[in-house]
Structure 1
Amino acid sequence: MARIGVLAVSDGRDHVHRRNTGFIRSKVDDFTAALTAAGHDVVTGGLVATNTTATAAARSVAASSVDVTVLYYAVWAFPHFTMLAADATTGPLLLVASTDPTEPGLVGMLAAGGALDQIGRAHTRLWGGPSDPELIAEVGAHASAAAAVGSLRGSTFGRFGGRPMGMNTAVANTDQWMREFGVDVEEIDQYELVRRADSGASGEAVSGRKWLEQHASVHYDGDRLTPELLERQLRLYLAVRDVAAERHLDFSGIKAQPELTEHFATADVAEALLNDPYDWNGPKAVHVTATEADMDGALTMQLMHRITGTPVLFADVRHYHPDRDVWDLCNSGQHATWFAARSEDPAENLAQVHLYPEVFFFPAGGASVQHIAAPGRMTLARLSRLDGEYRLQLVLGDFEAYDERTTEELVSRSTREWPHAFARLDVAPETFLSRFGANHVHAVPGDRRRELRAAAGLMGVRVEEWSR
């Protein structure tokens, strides 16, 4: 959840303010109580009824490192108080009006919003009863989006390797990232991972292998997948984790193809575990990691992770089944094992996971992390570029599960050994295939479109949203 600052703006006439104080406080108290009940950390700045308190209160709230500042209007309020408060804080602004008709709160919000428009100060306007669940959800969505976008600024992306297999959509302009999102890029050669993995702690890798053998189904074949190859993949995971800690990387991407996949081992196991909220040592933080060092994919995933706190799916848009109106989202790399059951218990997720020998694409071998994503409502999104300008492409969908026979028939149509998510999307296939800006797509559970729309607005990114 987010930290939300709240300032109530009042009438500047002393006798009117005195009359209105009780009314304003009752509305603000209900509003802040509802936000707190929703899990947010609320910082209140009191009532603003003079120019000096407008500046002082806004500075005080800003000093508490709030993610968003709410200016609340229960009554008519002098607009210049809003202007002074806005000038005293640089963060996102929400103007929220009470819709109680006994006092002109909407008038106060519109007058303040118009003044902010005149100076070009971005803000969002919301209105409703102070404890209206829809209003509280909307404020929470904007606050969560602000926290997520704010967390990107000053962060560092670790890019292990360069462009994979000529994939232009996996490479972004580092200057543009810093200018628009405040994200730096640390370039790291994959040899550093090989070097560390070759000399890594074998005991830890053995523990990881035994944990996977205990909880998942490991299909050794004595060639493409052996205990030794699986331990090599686990040492690769430990190497990424160690480099990320040493270089203070906030999220990462691993090229893998073709150097690692042809001469060392695939990064599938490493990527799955990095994106999982656990490993054999217990709970851990998710370290968002994109397959094929997909920069815009990783940025999308990091934004979605910061909003939801959950792992984020990374997949190819592999196939569309017209007879079922269902997409097969399938990629040899990263489907975090968490998606197999979306359980807080790792054993429940891993019980659905198979580690199969890698297919012919990857002669170095290793394990492919295979499972079927659990069913449920999902939000799918991707930051992509059109003529150099970022856009957020967004669609709602449902992951589906089928009986064993149907599932086997569907996975066998593409690559059985890879992870699959069967998705029914709220978009016509002609629209999606004609306009989607990459081969990789990303997903999180639930309907999180509201937060993602708000985040795009704060990032200055156009939203391209689809629905039937």
Structure 2
Amino acid sequence: MARIGLIAVSDGREHVHRRNTGFIQSTVDAFAAALAAAGHEVVSGGQVATNTTATAAARSVAAAGVDLTVLYYAVWAFPHFTMLAADATPGPLLLVASTDPAEPGLVGMLAAGGALDQIGRTHTRLWGAPGDAGLIEDIGAQARAAAAVAALRGSTFGRFGGRPMGMNTAVANTDQWMRTFGVDVEEIDQYELVRRAESGDLAKEAGRGREWLERYATVHYDGDRLTPELLERQLRLYLAVRDVAAERHLDFSGIKAQPELTEHFATADVAEALLNDPYDWNGPKPVHVTATEADMDGALTMQLLHLITGTPVLFADVRHYHPDRDVWDLCNSGQHATWFAARSDDPAENLAKVHLYPEVFFFPAGGASVQHIAAPGEMTLARLSRLDGEYRLQLMLGQFERFDESTTAELVSRSTPEWPHAFARLDVPAATFLSGFGANHVHAVPGDRRREVRVAAARIGVRLEEWRR
């Protein structure tokens, strides 16, 4: 969860503040307890009733490295205390008013918020009873988004290779990334992955990985496009990316793969799936968000969604629309993390639904594609893209569907059955989506996380383009 700073703002008249102290404290205690019960860490800045304590409390909370600072109004509060605290708090600011009619907390929040508006200090306002579940969830969304944006700034993206197959939407301006998102880009030649993968140092570990996949997934060796040797080559590629990421302190990555690796070495499908998984044969591990085709804006979207949710993020092409079912087939080589097969923390449960098929004619170097049907459930889909050089974040809600076996077989046979599929019903008309979506790649996480994504877009300063039917 998030780290939240909490400062209660009071009346500047000493005799009034003295009268209010107990009421403020009891209200703040209930509010802090509700936040803690929701899993957040609360850093208290105490009560503010003078100019000097307003500045000191805000500086103290900021020094604690909070993701979000909450200024709380249980009573009427002198607005200039908020102004001083806001000036001493460089991070995201949320004003929250208690709605107890016994005291004018709403009045205090509105006076403070109006003063901040006058100087252009960005902030958000919420209100409700201290333990109101809706209020606590709204604050959680604000805090999670703030934490994600803060974590994104100062991070490094590793790009293995360059522009894939002429895809301009996969290449971004590194200056713009630093200015807008605070993300640096480390350029790495794909030969570094080949060199490490062929060195022999990773052979034993790759053999263990192959045995693990053979034990839990269904591997369809054909003696040509997919052999144990080719599968181990793909696993050595996975280990090579992990080693480079650790050595160069890469926070997330993208692998070009096409056409050089896919024609002369092996596909990156297995590597990309496992990098995006929260486990491998050695047990649980951190997700290392990795985009296929070195899609920079795709990787950036995925990393933002991962930082918000903590879950793996789906990467897919928008492959086909079935108008008779109002369902989209989201499918892209072997990129889908195996976690999406069952969305379970137990890799055996996910891999039981995974097939490793010999790669198709697009990729003559061979290797396995990681095939499964994504588990059903509500999903949030998003994509950062550029319109006339400026970033926008396109957002929509969707539902992943799973059909009976015969229907599924018929649907996947219409495109590429060897690749993973997610059948999605989107909360946007097909004509709207196809006329305005800014890329061929889309990204998704489980549940309705639109609140956090909206807040994140506002924090970053990119335009939100949200679609609904």
* TM-score, with length taken from structure 1: 0.99
Deviation at 1:462, TM superposition (A): 1.1
| Contact 1:291–1:333, Cα closer than 8 Å, also in 2 | no
Deviation at 1:27, TM superposition (A): 1.3
1:189 aligns with 2:189: yes
1:248 paired residue number: 249
| Contact 1:174–1:185, Cα closer than 8 Å, also in 2 | yes
1:408 paired residue number: 409
Q: Percent identity?
A: 86
| Contact 1:392–1:461, Cα closer than 8 Å, also in 2 | yes
> Following the alignment from structure 1 to structure 2, what is the Cα–Cα distance between the partners of residues 405 and 122?
54
| Contact 2:359–2:367, Cα closer than 8 Å, also in 1 | yes
Deviation at 1:409, TM superposition (A): 0.2
**1:295-334 counterparts in 2 under 5 A?**
295-334=296-335
Per-residue deviation, residues 351-373 of structure 1 (Å, max 9, x unmatched): 00000000000000000000000
Q: What code does the residue aligned with 2:454 have?
A: R
Deviation at 1:103, TM superposition (A): 1.1
| Contact 2:334–2:371, Cα closer than 8 Å, also in 1 | no
1:426 paired residue number: 427
> Following the alignment from structure 2 to structure 1, what is the Cα–Cα distance between the partners of residues 396 and 280?
31
| Contact 2:206–2:235, Cα closer than 8 Å, also in 1 | yes
Q: What code does the residue aligned with 2:257 have?
A: A
**1:1-150 counterparts in 2 under 5 A?**
1-150=1-150
Per-residue deviation, residues 187-240 of structure 1 (Å, max 9, x unmatched): 000000000001142101110000000000000000100000000000000000
1:217 paired residue number: 218
Deviation at 1:334, TM superposition (A): 1.2
- The secondary structure found in structure 1 opposite 2:97 is strand
- The secondary structure found in structure 2 opposite 1:70 is strand
Deviation at 1:119, TM superposition (A): 1.1
> Following the alignment from structure 2 to structure 1, what is the Cα–Cα distance between the partners of residues 444 and 378?
10
1:463 aligns with 2:439: no
- The secondary structure found in structure 2 opposite 1:146 is helix
1:198 paired residue number: 198
Per-residue deviation, residues 27-49 of structure 1 (Å, max 9, x unmatched): 11111110000000000110000
- The secondary structure found in structure 1 opposite 2:383 is strand
| Contact 1:370–1:420, Cα closer than 8 Å, also in 2 | yes
Q: What code does the residue aligned with 2:85 have?
A: A
Deviation at 1:18, TM superposition (A): 1.0
- The secondary structure found in structure 2 opposite 1:415 is coil
> Following the alignment from structure 2 to structure 1, what is the Cα–Cα distance between the partners of residues 2 and 13?
34
Per-residue deviation, residues 390-418 of structure 1 (Å, max 9, x unmatched): 11100001101111100000000000000
1:335 aligns with 2:336: yes
Q: What code does the residue aligned with 2:265 have?
A: F
> Following the alignment from structure 1 to structure 2, what is the Cα–Cα distance between the partners of residues 368 and 49?
63
Q: What code does the residue aligned with 1:282 have?
A: G
- The secondary structure found in structure 2 opposite 1:363 is coil
| Contact 1:368–1:417, Cα closer than 8 Å, also in 2 | yes
- The secondary structure found in structure 2 opposite 1:19 is helix
Deviation at 1:333, TM superposition (A): 3.5
> Following the alignment from structure 2 to structure 1, what is the Cα–Cα distance between the partners of residues 129 and 168?
49
Residues 214, 332 of structure 1: alpha-carbon distance in 2 compared, 3 angstrom cutoff: same
2:233 paired residue number: 232
> Following the alignment from structure 1 to structure 2, what is the Cα–Cα distance between the partners of residues 249 and 163?
19
Deviation at 1:153, TM superposition (A): 0.9
> Following the alignment from structure 2 to structure 1, what is the Cα–Cα distance between the partners of residues 330 and 202?
35
> Following the alignment from structure 1 to structure 2, what is the Cα–Cα distance between the partners of residues 376 and 448?
13
2:258 paired residue number: 257
> Following the alignment from structure 2 to structure 1, what is the Cα–Cα distance between the partners of residues 2 and 254?
27
> Following the alignment from structure 1 to structure 2, what is the Cα–Cα distance between the partners of residues 333 and 103?
59
2:292 paired residue number: 291
1:389 paired residue number: 390
More displaced stretch, 25-34 vs 362-371: 25-34
> Following the alignment from structure 1 to structure 2, what is the Cα–Cα distance between the partners of residues 25 and 51?
19
**1:171-190 counterparts in 2 under 5 A?**
171-190=171-190
> Following the alignment from structure 2 to structure 1, what is the Cα–Cα distance between the partners of residues 335 and 150?
26
Per-residue deviation, residues 398-456 of structure 1 (Å, max 9, x unmatched): 10111110000000000000000000111100001111100000000000000000000
* TM-score, with length taken from structure 2: 0.99
Q: What code does the residue aligned with 1:419 have?
A: P
- The secondary structure found in structure 2 opposite 1:55 is helix
1:360 paired residue number: 361
> Following the alignment from structure 1 to structure 2, what is the Cα–Cα distance between the partners of residues 9 and 389?
39
| Contact 1:218–1:356, Cα closer than 8 Å, also in 2 | yes
**Number of residue pairs the alignment of both structures matches:** 468
1:454 paired residue number: 455
> Following the alignment from structure 1 to structure 2, what is the Cα–Cα distance between the partners of residues 181 and 393?
16
**RMSD over aligned Cα atoms:** 0.6
1:270 paired residue number: 271
> Following the alignment from structure 2 to structure 1, what is the Cα–Cα distance between the partners of residues 371 and 349?
15
> Following the alignment from structure 2 to structure 1, what is the Cα–Cα distance between the partners of residues 57 and 445?
37
> Following the alignment from structure 1 to structure 2, what is the Cα–Cα distance between the partners of residues 92 and 389?
23
Unpaired segments ≥5 residues, structure 1: none
- The secondary structure found in structure 2 opposite 1:464 is strand
Q: What code does the residue aligned with 1:457 have?
A: A
Q: What code does the residue aligned with 1:165 have?
A: M
- The secondary structure found in structure 2 opposite 1:15 is helix
| Contact 2:317–2:440, Cα closer than 8 Å, also in 1 | yes
- The secondary structure found in structure 1 opposite 2:392 is strand
Q: What code does the residue aligned with 1:191 have?
A: Y
Unpaired segments ≥5 residues, structure 2: none
> Following the alignment from structure 1 to structure 2, what is the Cα–Cα distance between the partners of residues 320 and 208?
36
Greater than 4 Å deviation, 4+ residue runs: none
Q: What code does the residue aligned with 1:345 have?
A: D
Deviation at 1:23, TM superposition (A): 1.3
